[in-house]
Amino acid sequence: MQATDSLAESTRPALAGWLRLQQTDGVGLLTAHKLLEQYDTPAAIFAADRTGLLELVSPRQADAVLAAPADIERQLDAMLAWQQQPGNLLLTLDHPAYPEYLRHIVGAPLILYVKGNAGLLPQRSVAVVGSRNASRQGVLNAGHMALALSDAGVTIVSGLALGIDAAAHAGGLDGPGGTIAVLGTGIDRIYPARNGALARRIAEEGCLVSEYALGTPPSRDNFPRRNRIISGLARGVLVVEAAAKSGSLITARLAASQGRDVYAVPGSIHATLSKGCHQLIREGARLVESAADVLSAMQMLADGQAGARAAPDDSFVDLVLDAMGEDPVQAEVLALHLGQPAGELQGQLLALELAGLLERLPGGMFQRLRA
């Protein structure tokens, strides 16, 4: 027997318990968590006597817990076979790698399917969400702000939808912070299909996450539900564009209920896609106009916490801008010209970008901006 097969078999009984709890008829996530608070593990729940269970659940639910489990062997086989593929990981609620921020939300998933860099899950992160039918300016704002946050070491979390989500993921991938996409389907199903190439890139360079069983197709009920995971993984939620009844408002309000910060980008009073952001601001969301505002709120510009980049030295700003001239220039060339270590210069360039003094271009080029 191969080592991976042996490992799969050793984890099978515990995983079977979590899967059985997840699929027990009439027992939802809230009831499952109530049972876990009392009994600690699925195995202890299923070993409990009916009298003890009746102190927590209804007679019908108690009978369902004690009933012989439905045939879950085939699903277990599929899950363990999937986990043995490179880059795939199953995280049950008690797994040490289960994201700590997510573990403590109401209705935390019992099982998470993770594909890609699971090391991103515990990192400092911000969810960037907004309209699927975003304006061109909204898409640009989302991409630029996500890139600036990622450059500051912040992981970008979003939902792989068209519009703002897709732009946020792309921006996160282009910086060192990376990105996490939370799916409303099984992790082996990509929706929408137009984001297939983006999803494959995230699987290779970032991280895909789903609570849904393998093969689960898109369903309109799944997407609002997965929003609690988007906000649950993040330290705060940034809404870039949202109509008055946007699903992004669900994410923002879930974030507030989970004790996360909520940030919203304002827009024209005449713009339909600004109505939701304005409503959030009226409800107490922090008005932000740039990634620097978010970083400041997270105290990443003020106190030098992990992932923060250096603020620009005023005596150095003019020297950098003068050295850039009027044409696009690579950071490495600029560092050589200034006699500055490239790593230190990147922090200065990020701060100047956040200040609106220069623009990052494709290919690692930078362009000075004139007022």
The string of pLDDT tens digits covering residues 37-78 is 999 999 999 999 999 999 999 999 999 999 988 788 999 999
pLDDT digits (tens, 9 = 90+) for 73-122: 999 999 999 999 999 999 999 999 999 999 999 899 999 999 999 999 99
In terms of Cα–Cα distance, which of 161, 181, 124, 356 is closest to 242?
Answer: 161
Query: Which pair of structure tokens corresponds to residue 107?
Result: 């209705």
CA angle 354, 356, 359 (to 5 degrees): 90
Contacts of residue 116, Cβ cutoff 8 Å, sequence gap at least 6: 87, 202, 203, 204, 205, 206, 207, 208
Three-state DSSP class for residue 155: strand
In our burial notation (b when 16+ CB lie closer than 10 A, e otherwise), range 260-275 reads bbbbbbebeeebebbb
Three-state DSSP class for residue 253: helix
For the chain, the average pLDDT equals 87
CA dihedral angle for residue 214, residue 215, residue 220, residue 226, rounded to 10 degrees: 20
pLDDT at 365 over 80: no
Q: What pLDDT, on the 0 to 100 scale, is given for residue 187?
A: 97
The verdict on pTM exceeding 0.85 is no
pLDDT band of residue 311 (cuts 50, 70, 90) is very low
Q: What pLDDT, on the 0 to 100 scale, is given for residue 8?
A: 55
Domains observed in the chain: 3-82 (1.10.150), 118-297 (3.40.50.450), 314-368 (1.10.10.10)
pLDDT digits (tens, 9 = 90+) for 156-211: 999 999 999 999 999 999 999 999 999 999 999 999 999 999 999 999 999 999 99
Largest Cα–Cα separation, the chain: 79
- Mean pLDDT value across residues 362-370: 68
Q: What pLDDT, on the 0 to 100 scale, is given for residue 4?
A: 47
Specify which residues 366 forms β-bridges with: 329, 360
pLDDT digits (tens, 9 = 90+) for 217-227: 999 889 989 99
